[in-house]
Structures are given as C-alpha cells and as structure tokens.
C-alpha cells in the first residue's frame, strides 16, 4: 500500500492537474484561447529561464537536442491546450472535454508498438475500441446533429488526443534511442515552454490582437494556471514518479473526467447527465483492458 504522504501527493496532483480545465474556462471570458495560452507560456518560460540562470543550469544544447523537445512542447502544450480551450470557448462542458482527452492514454498504449516494437495484443485493442465507444456514447447524446457548429465543437478535443499521443510517442522514441543525451527535466521544460510561446505568438497576434481584459479575476486565474497547474502539478507528478511506478502515476490521469465533472458542477453548475456516467463507465472499462499487459508484466515494488 502507498504511504499516507504519497496518497496526499496523488490527491494534490489530481486536483491541481484537473483544475486546469476549470481555470481555462474562468479565463476565457477575458481573452481568446490563443492569447490566454500565449500569456501563460510566456510567463512560464520567463520563470523557468530565471530559475535556470540562478542555478547556472541554462545552456544551448544544440539544434539536434533542442528541436525534438520543442516539437514535443508545441504538440503536448500548444496544440493540446488550444484544442481544449477552443472546445470550452464553443460551449463544450469541461467534464466532457476531459472525458474525450482521457482517450490519450488508450491511444498511446495502442500505438506505442510503432515506437517500441512491442506487439499490441487483442485485449488492448478491445480496450481502445471500448474507450472510443464510451466517448461516442456521451458526446453523441449531447451533440446537436442539426447544428454543424455543435458537431465541430464536440470533435475539437480529438485534436488534443492526436497531438498529445504524437508527442508521447516521440518522447518514448527519444527515451529508447537517445537515452544518454536526454535533457534534464528543467531544461527540457524550458525548451518545450519557449517553443510553445513562439508557436502561439503569431495566431494570438493575427487572430486576436493579443486583446486582453486585465481584470483581477483574470490575473488570479493566470497565476493559478501558471504556478499551480503548469509548475505545481508537474512537480507533484515527478515526485510521485520517484515514489511509485510510472504506470501507477499514469493511471491517475484516468480520474480526470469524474474529478473535472465534479469541479465543473461546483464552479459553473454543469449538470452531469445519465449518459455521461454510462460513457464514463465504458471508458474506464477500456482503460482497464488497455493496461492489461502492463499490469500483468509490471514488477511488484514494495512502497510500504
């Protein structure tokens, strides 16, 4: 069993990480999706840069090492969060966005064989199909098929799934082929964050003119997204990885949809419908099946 301190870290991580969906919805009335993300990652890049300078750890690692980390940043932060924010901005409830995004571990597990060479077994493919079915059930009952805007809005989060799945596979390939040249976590975070800022600058300026209402509520929201979510949740995640297996940490992401639905109900009054629960149960069943091979083969580690 996990120690009490580890359980507290896990609870803190789940709450902070999933509060990002709620924080994003709070911030959108004051600016556009691209601009919100641009300010967030600009501030995050500056904070990490200052930290690296103080610790005398900043250095240019060369394009060969920087480029894949920057690509991962654009996909895993820029595209992933942009799709999330555009879905929220188009009226898709935060809990439903979180449910669609929860397909990412399933997709990554199913296609990781392309990177690792390991064969994805039939049970895992069944898990992936079940996961998509669960999302289809929930989204299908909420979507207004007579409205092209509604259909498009509910499909936007799939862009997040594709982007972060691609980023995860690229990261996994780097871990396998270039383990010796892997960047330290803080330096990797800087290159990812800096690349995300650069990628967001042009659409934020051209499509939204960086228009922002600098109200206190928006400033508080940005501070929360930068410090609590981007830094706090990330630090807690790595603290957990140091204490327990990475697969058990990854399983915490599966708590995202119900936790986010509960937060959205408390913050915005979003109602949970019966088909949301049905779809959530189907997705969880898919997650369990998709993890079958890793659970069966994972070594037992005593954390008590």
Q: Does residue 103 fall inside a structural domain?
A: yes
Q: Does residue 201 fall inside a structural domain?
A: yes
Q: Does residue 303 fall inside a structural domain?
A: no
Q: Could you count the other beta carbons within 10 Å of the beta carbon of residue 174?
A: 19
What does the pLDDT look like over 248-299, one tens digit per residue?
666 677 778 888 999 999 998 888 889 888 888 888 787 777 666 544 444 4
Q: What is the mean pLDDT of residues 18-47?
A: 96
Partners of 31 in the β-ladder: 212
Partners of 212 in the β-ladder: 31
Q: Does residue 211 fall inside a structural domain?
A: yes
Cα separation, 265 vs 280, in Å, equals: 16
DSSP conformation letters of 142-203? H--TT-HHHHHHHHTHHHHHHHHHHHHHHHHHHHHHSGGGPPPHHHHHHHHHHHHHHHHHHH
Helix (H, G, I), strand (E, B) or coil at 236: helix
- The total domain count for the chain is 1
Q: Does residue 302 fall inside a structural domain?
A: no
The dihedral of CA 166, 262, 196, 236: what is its sign?
A: negative
Q: Does residue 304 fall inside a structural domain?
A: no
Cα separation, 86 vs 153, in Å, equals: 8
Among 22-26, 44-48, 178-182, 235-239, the least confident range: 178-182
Q: Does residue 149 fall inside a structural domain?
A: yes
Among 20-24, 89-93, 187-191, 234-238, the least confident range: 234-238
**Domain interval for residue 38:** 4-297
Angle ∠(277,278,280) on CA atoms, nearest 5:
60
pLDDT-derived band at 19 (thresholds 50, 70, 90) equals: very high
Cα separation, 131 vs 224, in Å, equals: 31
Task: Give percent of the chain with pLDDT exceeding 70.
Answer: 87
Q: What is the pTM of this model?
A: 0.85
What does the pLDDT look like over 97-117, one tens digit per residue?
988 888 877 777 777 776 666
Angle ∠(269,272,275) on CA atoms, nearest 5:
160
What does the pLDDT look like over 202-239, one tens digit per residue?
999 999 999 999 999 999 999 999 999 999 988 888 78
Q: What is the mean pLDDT of residues 123-131?
A: 78
pLDDT-derived band at 88 (thresholds 50, 70, 90) equals: very high
- Could you tell me how many residues make up the chain? 304
Q: What is the pLDDT of residue 91?
A: 92
Q: Does residue 197 fall inside a structural domain?
A: yes
Q: What is the pLDDT of residue 238?
A: 77
pLDDT-derived band at 197 (thresholds 50, 70, 90) equals: very high
Q: What is the pLDDT of residue 179?
A: 64
């Amino acid at each position: 069993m996990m120690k009490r301190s580890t359980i507290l870290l896990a609870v803190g991580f789940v709450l902070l990480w999933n509060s990002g969906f709620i924080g994003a919805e709070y911030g959108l009335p004051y600016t556009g999706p691209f601009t919100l993300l641009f300010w967030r990652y600009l501030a995050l890049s500056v904070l990490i840069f200052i930290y690296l300078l103080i610790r005398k750890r900043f250095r240019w690692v060369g394009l060969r090492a920087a480029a894949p980390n920057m690509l991962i940043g654009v996909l895993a932060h820029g595209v992933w969060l942009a799709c999330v924010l555009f879905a929220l901005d188009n009226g898709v409830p935060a809990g439903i966005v979180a449910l669609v995004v929860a397909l990412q571990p399933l997709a990554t597990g199913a296609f990781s064989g392309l990177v690792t060479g390991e064969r994805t077994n039939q049970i895992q493919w069944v898990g992936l199909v079940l996961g998509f079915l669960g999302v289809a059930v929930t989204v299908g009952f909420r979507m207004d098929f007579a409205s092209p805007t509604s259909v498009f809005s509910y499909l936007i989060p799939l862009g997040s799934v594709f982007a972060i799945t691609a980023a995860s596979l690229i990261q996994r390939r780097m871990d396998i082929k270039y383990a010796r040249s892997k960047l330290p976590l803080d330096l990797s975070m800087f290159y990812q964050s800096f690349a995300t800022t650069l990628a967001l600058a042009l659409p934020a300026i051209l499509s939204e003119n960086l228009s922002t209402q600098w109200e206190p509520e928006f400033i508080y929201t940005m501070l929360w997204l930068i410090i609590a979510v981007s830094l706090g949740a990330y630090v807690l995640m790595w603290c957990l990885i140091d204490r327990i297996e990475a697969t058990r940490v990854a399983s915490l992401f599966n708590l995202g949809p119900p936790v986010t639905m509960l937060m959205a109900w408390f913050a915005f009054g979003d109602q949970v419908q019966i088909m949301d629960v049905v779809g959530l149960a189907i997705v969880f069943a898919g997650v369990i099946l998709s993890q079958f091979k890793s659970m069966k083969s994972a070594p037992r580690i005593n954390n008590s």
